[in-house]
A and B are shown apart, each in its own frame.
Chain A
Amino acid sequence: MTTTAHGIESAAWLLIALPLISGAVLLLAGKRANKWGHLLGALVPIVLFVYALMLFFAVKHEHNREVSRHLFNWIHVGRFSIDAGLLLDPLSLVFVLLITGVGSLIHIYAVGYMSHDPGRRRFFGYFNIFVAAMLLLVLADNYLSLYVGWEGVGVASYLLISFYYDRNSAATAGNKAFFANRVGDVGLSVAIMLMFAYLGNTSFQTVLHSHLSNGVASAIAFMLLLGACGKSGQFPLQTWLPDAMEGPTPVSALIHAATMVTAGVYLIARSAAIFDQSQSARTMITIIGAITLLYGCVSAFGQDDLKKVLAYSTVSQIGYMFLAVGLGPGVYAIGIIHLLGHGFFKAALFLSAGSVMHAMNDRIDMRRFGGLRTVMPITFAVFVCGYLALIGFPLATGFWTKDKIIEAAFDKGGTSGWILGIAALLGAGLTAAYMTRALVMTFFGEKRWEDDVHPHEAPKSMTLPMIVLGALSLVGGYLLIFGGGVQHWLTPSVGPSVEEGVHTVNPTVLSILTLVVIALGAYGAYAAYGRKAVPVEKPVAVSPITRAARKNIYADAFNEAVLMKPGQWLSRALVYFDNRGVDGAVTGLAAGMGGSSSRLRRMQTGFVRSYALSMLGGTIAVVAVLLAVRFQ
């Protein structure tokens, strides 16, 4: 049983209310708040972080480290009621600490990054609202409240992707994110309806402690998985995430790297009890994870936009997390730990990318960088920390967390274990390669800057958070894994971590093998990009693999051909049968209003006689069915 909140725990609702209020103030106060708005916006997550730390220690001393805080009764009619409440447990608390901790650093960074932007106050308003929604998502004690937070982070994310809405690409990227997320959201909402239908309730207390029939558990699990794929940019809903980099860099760092996109992993870890009842759904997660992690690696190769490289890297790293949580009980905790570590190093990488971008007049093409290590030593150092952590350099974060996932994949045993393990191992090598390429192209080699660019190191408000994150990237993994602290801490939420058992491959051997693969990958990329000059223009004559990688393995083309076009044909065909003139444009974005009058006339060709005929047909059908049912 969970303990009821008392003491400082009972004010946990402040975690959601504070950023919400401050976001509302920032958005509603208008120009008056321009002077101090960003400071308020940045202060809020810091306060929340301090409070979250206090909560952490308070909950640590509770009997079973699970505290519930009932807020209010949302719907209550008869025997049916939905309560809104918060659940403070190990899983939600590590997320709260990640969101507020990394969030604080990125907010501070954004103060400097956005200092010349006229929309700074609006930016911080959205940013705070995002924090509120994200905290609601992880603190909710039932799926319905979680869904509210889920939609909330989605909305904040679209708003922030389209922040520079006067750029066409930003608006399009916002659209794309919106639709991919909708597909996922439908999955989550169907899962919630299924829970209501079969359990009458969506609280974690009920859902995660009920025994469901295999069919129902699988249905719920697959629907949850669909939701998770949409939000976390996993195959086949992955294409929106790289485009989402159109938003300001702090957004990419916080929302599209460290926190929101990991919500899918959270959802699966939270629903561990359901996935435990459905082997097929679990297998599906591992397959999706493996495909996505390789997809992300290969696509990252084809990109010249530094942020896009990092975005594909995020897609691929979340693939690792999916793989981990899909492997099942005992590995959930490892997935979460990789998520935390990833939060540190990917934020560090994005922030240094932002710093580079800031220095290069908002240009992000790596072909026009080069030789920045001497000009921007701090940024370079932070990027290197993140780089080492991401590729899994010995003793840096990724070394501890990613290796564990590779090991767990091999330990799954059987053919599938080998396939997954090799995919994960291959991914590690590719990761080292594309990151080396990005590092070399950006910071080494000769200068390929455009003439009007005068790079300089970023101001202190930006470098300080970067340094903290850089340090965390180096040592964070060790802290997370040390003595099994976090794994042990997470046990009440996701079950104990299983270390013992038969290893398919000896861990030491595997570690060494992984390092060899990583070294090969890094060396290969260095040989290809570090030895000779990088052309300023994209080479045209390239291998088919490079071409595929540049087009992110044709995922967009595939979506268009397989999903968009048939959808349009279907709807056109239906319109044809509807015997009514509707103009050909199905997208609603029909440019121009040319000939609107003729269109109006055409719409009125809906003949009454055909309507009447359809009614008659319907009537005959109704009567026929009635009589058929009666006299069958």
Chain B
Amino acid sequence: MSHVLFAAATVPTIKTPSIAYHAIAPILIVLGAALLGVLVEAAVPRRERFNAQIAVTVLGLIGALVAVGLLHNTSLTTPSPVGSSESFYGALSVDPAGLFLQGTVLALALMATLLISERSIEIGSPIVASAAVVVGSPDDKRLANSERVQTEIFPLLLFAVSGMLIFPIANNLLLMFIALEVLSLPLYLMAGLSRRRRLLSQEASLKYFLLGAFASAFFLYGLALLYGYANSVDLPAIFNAQRTSGKSDVLLYLGLGLVIVGLLFKASVAPFHSWTPDVYQGSPTPVAAFMASCTKVASFGALLRVLVIGFSGSTWDWRPIIWGVAIASMVIGAILGVTQTDIKRVLAYSSIAHAGFILVGLVAVTSDKGQSLASVMFYVLSYGFTTLAAFGLLMLVRDADGEATHLSQWSGLARKSPLVASVMTILLLSMAGIPLTSGFIGKFYVFRAAWHTAGPLVVIALLCSAVAAFYYLRIVVLMFFAEPPENAPTIAIPGWSASVALTTGVVVTVFLGLLPEPIVDLAVKAAHLRG
């Protein structure tokens, strides 16, 4: 200890890190838009606020997306790392894979924003009028039918997105932790902002917060242990320390295990998945869509980076973990999904199962020159679009209590609205991995990448996907071949924003199934992480 103090004393000044501003421009744009959103809350009159917030959010996200695109072009043409080692002493690495994931997060967040902005289905929006009003009070009843909306959700979303942008490019565990918190805290709040069934929503929020805090603590403790082992929280330094450090490996593996647990929690991988169904069910549907797609992309991005940059030297030690949690996720997601009777919970279990499939692709990530990395990146992208659109569709099927999410209410839906039923069918087929949809291509790449390293795991994955296909197809059959119930729900006509989001989701799902090449190509070229 005295040695550390002594060292600190001899270096009296801290060198300012050089910052490549252009490399972190997307993050800065999103953060700027978020701050602007806060100002809008304060300065713009209530009537104008909703539209102003939409404008700020959408423009901010588009701006960031353009910035990512520009960076991507330069990073592909110039071989030298753009800002990687220059930004914050290498704490951030804006590398091709990071940019791919950032672009995916931004595109998905844009779609989620459009879903949140949907106002023609319900008075106001899917978002509560005023989150602080006590549930069931006279004020609550009055506000439920008012046009008022808790518009803070838009800046919250932007803050969460900024965290998600940093998460997959952080080469420094401390920074990664901050990004984790920056993305999580707004999500906890957003989960509690549902307009209908508010108690459920608040409960979901609290649950998510408590369990999230628990997981963050694991991450932080793991980080501390790793620091104890490597004297650094930089992933490259941790990697080097494994070859040079004489300290006990217990610190290293304990630390690695706890850090992985923190990340797996966010990615809703079993056995750290238990919050997922409850939180998805309670959250406002567009927020659940946002969590299911963007959070997943960002956390798998972070997991990839930790394993590839920090621990590619100890692949043989962590691979059994990935095997185990992948199997657990796929089995739990597939089998428990079968018993669910609520479509939001079905999608939640589907999300758990898909996390397992993604992990299958992750098994070989350090040993096969980017093939696995590309397959995982393609998978999270294609799954993100599909699941976002699927959640979006749930918003359209309604009864007097809001969304009609019980499976029995979806029977015979095709007779009421062939369009909604057909679109849902496409999305479900994609989740089931039926050919000519993006889901098939995604699964196919992931399984192919993993085959040589983990053949038995792929066989298990195939069996699980067969079981999971059952519950997706059961919904299809229910929609097309069953009698509609007496209290059949009505189908709302979405406004422009939700229509755009839904159309995009479905088009991407079909397009990536028919002509996956452009995106696969992009993923393969971007399959490169820099330390």
Binding site for B on A (CB under 8 A): 75-78, 80, 144, 147-148, 151, 158, 162, 165, 168, 171, 174-175, 178, 182, 186, 189-190, 193, 196-197, 570-572, 574-575, 578, 580, 582-583, 585-586, 588-593, 596, 600, 603-604, 606, 608, 610-612, 614-615, 617-619, 621-623, 625-627, 629-631
Which of A197, A583, A626 has the most chain B CB atoms closer than 10 A to its own CB? A626
Q: Which residue in B260, B339, B434, B475 is a CB contact (below 8 Å) of A622?
A: B260
B409 CB contacts on chain A under 8 angstroms: 593
B256 CB contacts on chain A under 8 angstroms: 626
Instruction: Show 14 A/B contacts (Cβ-Cβ < 8 Å), sorted by A.
Output: A75-B441, A77-B521, A190-B466, A588-B474, A589-B407, A592-B485, A593-B487, A608-B210, A612-B210, A622-B261, A625-B324, A626-B256, A630-B253, A631-B249
**B residues 322-344 touching A (CB-CB < 8 Å):** 324-325, 335-336, 338-342
Which of B211, B341, B409 has the most chain A CB atoms closer than 10 A to its own CB? B341
Whether A626 contacts B317 in the complex (CB less than 8 A), given A162-B481, A589-B408, comes out as yes
Tell whether, in the assembled complex, residue B483 and residue A168 are in contact, meaning their CB atoms are under 8 Å apart.
yes
Q: Mark B468-498, 1 if CB is under 8 A from A, else 0.
A: 0111011101101111010100000000000
Stretch from B17-25, B272-280, B285-293, B358-366 forming part of the interface with A: B272-280
B339 CB contacts on chain A under 8 angstroms: 571-572, 574-575, 582, 586
Stretch from B37-45, B63-71, B162-170, B447-455 forming part of the interface with A: B447-455
Tell whether, in the assembled complex, residue B481 and residue A76 are in contact, meaning their CB atoms are under 8 Å apart.
no
B320 CB contacts on chain A under 8 angstroms: 625-626, 629
Tell whether, in the assembled complex, residue B478 and residue A589 are in contact, meaning their CB atoms are under 8 Å apart.
yes
Tell whether, in the assembled complex, residue A75 and residue B408 are in contact, meaning their CB atoms are under 8 Å apart.
no
B441 CB contacts on chain A under 8 angstroms: 75
A158 CB contacts on chain B under 8 angstroms: 481
Q: Is B524 an interface residue (CB 8 A)?
A: yes
A75 CB contacts on chain B under 8 angstroms: 441, 516-517, 520
- The contact size tier of chain B is 35 or more
A448 to B487, CA, bound (A): 44
Closest Cβ of chain B to A82, distance in Å, is 9
Q: Which residue in A151, A603, A626 is a CB contact (below 8 Å) of B318?
A: A626
Q: Which residue in B211, B341, B411, B481 is a CB contact (below 8 Å) of A582?
A: B341
Closest Cβ of chain A to B478, distance in Å, is 6
Closest Cβ of chain B to A145, distance in Å, is 9
Q: Is B462 an interface residue (CB 8 A)?
A: yes
A572 CB contacts on chain B under 8 angstroms: 339
A171 CB contacts on chain B under 8 angstroms: 481-483
Tell whether, in the assembled complex, residue B520 and residue A617 are in contact, meaning their CB atoms are under 8 Å apart.
no
Given contacts A589-B411, A606-B278, 15 further A-B contacts (CB under 8 A): A78-B524, A144-B435, A162-B481, A168-B483, A171-B483, A174-B481, A178-B473, A182-B469, A190-B466, A571-B336, A588-B471, A593-B409, A606-B274, A622-B257, A626-B320
Tell whether, in the assembled complex, residue A76 and residue B211 are in contact, meaning their CB atoms are under 8 Å apart.
no
Chain A contact residues: over half helix, strand or loop, or mixed? helix
A575 to B473, CA, bound (A): 21
A574 CB contacts on chain B under 8 angstroms: 335-336, 339
Binding site for A on B (CB under 8 A): 197, 200, 203, 206-207, 210-211, 214-215, 218, 249-250, 253-254, 256-258, 260-261, 265, 270-272, 274-275, 277-278, 281, 316-318, 320-321, 324-325, 335-336, 338-342, 406-409, 411, 415, 434-436, 441, 444, 447-448, 451, 455, 458-459, 462, 466, 469-471, 473-475, 477-478, 480-483, 485, 487, 516-517, 520-521, 524
Closest Cβ of chain A to B271, distance in Å, is 3
Closest Cβ of chain A to B435, distance in Å, is 5
A480 to B439, CA, bound (A): 44
| List of 10 A-B pairs having minimum Cβ-Cβ separation, nearest first | A618-B271, A623-B257, A611-B274, A186-B466, A626-B253, A588-B407, A171-B481, A571-B339, A197-B451, A626-B257
Tell whether, in the assembled complex, residue B271 and residue A621 are in contact, meaning their CB atoms are under 8 Å apart.
yes
Closest Cβ of chain A to B498, distance in Å, is 24
A590 to B339, CA, bound (A): 11
B451 CB contacts on chain A under 8 angstroms: 196-197
Chain B contact residues: over half helix, strand or loop, or mixed? helix
Tell whether, in the assembled complex, residue A588 and residue B211 are in contact, meaning their CB atoms are under 8 Å apart.
no
Whether A590 contacts B338 in the complex (CB less than 8 A), given A147-B435, A627-B250, comes out as no
Residue ID in chain A nearest B338 by CB atoms: A571
Closest Cβ of chain B to A567, distance in Å, is 8
B475 CB contacts on chain A under 8 angstroms: 588
Tell whether, in the assembled complex, residue A629 and residue B316 are in contact, meaning their CB atoms are under 8 Å apart.
yes
Closest Cβ of chain B to A261, distance in Å, is 20
Closest Cβ of chain A to B416, distance in Å, is 13
A590 CB contacts on chain B under 8 angstroms: 341, 407-408
B480 CB contacts on chain A under 8 angstroms: 162, 174
Whether A583 contacts B278 in the complex (CB less than 8 A), given A190-B462, A588-B408, A619-B218, comes out as no
Tell whether, in the assembled complex, residue B482 and residue A619 are in contact, meaning their CB atoms are under 8 Å apart.
no
Closest Cβ of chain A to B486, distance in Å, is 8
A609 to B399, CA, bound (A): 33
Residue ID in chain A nearest B441 by CB atoms: A75
Closest Cβ of chain A to B180, distance in Å, is 16
Q: Which residue in A178, A578, A615 is a CB contact (below 8 Å) of B265?
A: A615
Tell whether, in the assembled complex, residue A612 and residue B321 are in contact, meaning their CB atoms are under 8 Å apart.
no
Whether A627 contacts B477 in the complex (CB less than 8 A), given A582-B339, A588-B407, A617-B271, comes out as no
Tell whether, in the assembled complex, residue B487 and residue A603 are in contact, meaning their CB atoms are under 8 Å apart.
no
Tell whether, in the assembled complex, residue A625 and residue B321 are in contact, meaning their CB atoms are under 8 Å apart.
yes
B341 CB contacts on chain A under 8 angstroms: 582-583, 585, 588, 590
Tell whether, in the assembled complex, residue A603 and residue B281 are in contact, meaning their CB atoms are under 8 Å apart.
yes
A332 to B481, CA, bound (A): 38
Residue ID in chain B nearest A81 by CB atoms: B517
A612 to B270, CA, bound (A): 13
Closest Cβ of chain A to B389, distance in Å, is 21
Whether A604 contacts B483 in the complex (CB less than 8 A), given A589-B408, A611-B207, A625-B324, comes out as no
A580 to B521, CA, bound (A): 43
Closest Cβ of chain A to B303, distance in Å, is 13
A588 CB contacts on chain B under 8 angstroms: 341, 407-408, 471, 474-475, 478
Residue ID in chain B nearest A623 by CB atoms: B257
Residue ID in chain A nearest B461 by CB atoms: A193
A50 to B125, CA, bound (A): 59
Tell whether, in the assembled complex, residue A623 and residue B254 are in contact, meaning their CB atoms are under 8 Å apart.
yes
Whether A615 contacts B215 in the complex (CB less than 8 A), given A197-B455, A590-B407, comes out as yes
B258 CB contacts on chain A under 8 angstroms: 619, 623
Tell whether, in the assembled complex, residue A165 and residue B481 are in contact, meaning their CB atoms are under 8 Å apart.
yes
Residue ID in chain B nearest A610 by CB atoms: B274
Whether A76 contacts B517 in the complex (CB less than 8 A), given A182-B469, A571-B338, A619-B261, comes out as yes
B435 CB contacts on chain A under 8 angstroms: 144, 147-148, 151
B197 CB contacts on chain A under 8 angstroms: 600
Tell whether, in the assembled complex, residue B317 and residue A615 are in contact, meaning their CB atoms are under 8 Å apart.
no
A144 to B265, CA, bound (A): 36
A165 to B321, CA, bound (A): 49
Tell whether, in the assembled complex, residue B278 and residue A193 are in contact, meaning their CB atoms are under 8 Å apart.
no
Residue ID in chain B nearest A80 by CB atoms: B448
Whether A591 contacts B408 in the complex (CB less than 8 A), given A606-B274, A626-B321, comes out as yes
A626 CB contacts on chain B under 8 angstroms: 253-254, 256-257, 317-318, 320-321
A516 to B421, CA, bound (A): 56
Closest Cβ of chain A to B285, distance in Å, is 16
A588 to B472, CA, bound (A): 11
Residue ID in chain B nearest A161 by CB atoms: B481
Tell whether, in the assembled complex, residue A77 and residue B211 are in contact, meaning their CB atoms are under 8 Å apart.
no
Residue ID in chain A nearest B254 by CB atoms: A623
A627 CB contacts on chain B under 8 angstroms: 250, 253-254, 257
Tell whether, in the assembled complex, residue A604 and residue B278 are in contact, meaning their CB atoms are under 8 Å apart.
yes
Whether A622 contacts B517 in the complex (CB less than 8 A), given A196-B448, A612-B210, A612-B214, comes out as no
A144 CB contacts on chain B under 8 angstroms: 435
B254 CB contacts on chain A under 8 angstroms: 623, 626-627
Whether A615 contacts B207 in the complex (CB less than 8 A), given A582-B340, A623-B253, A627-B250, comes out as no
A575 to B349, CA, bound (A): 13
Residue ID in chain A nearest B480 by CB atoms: A162
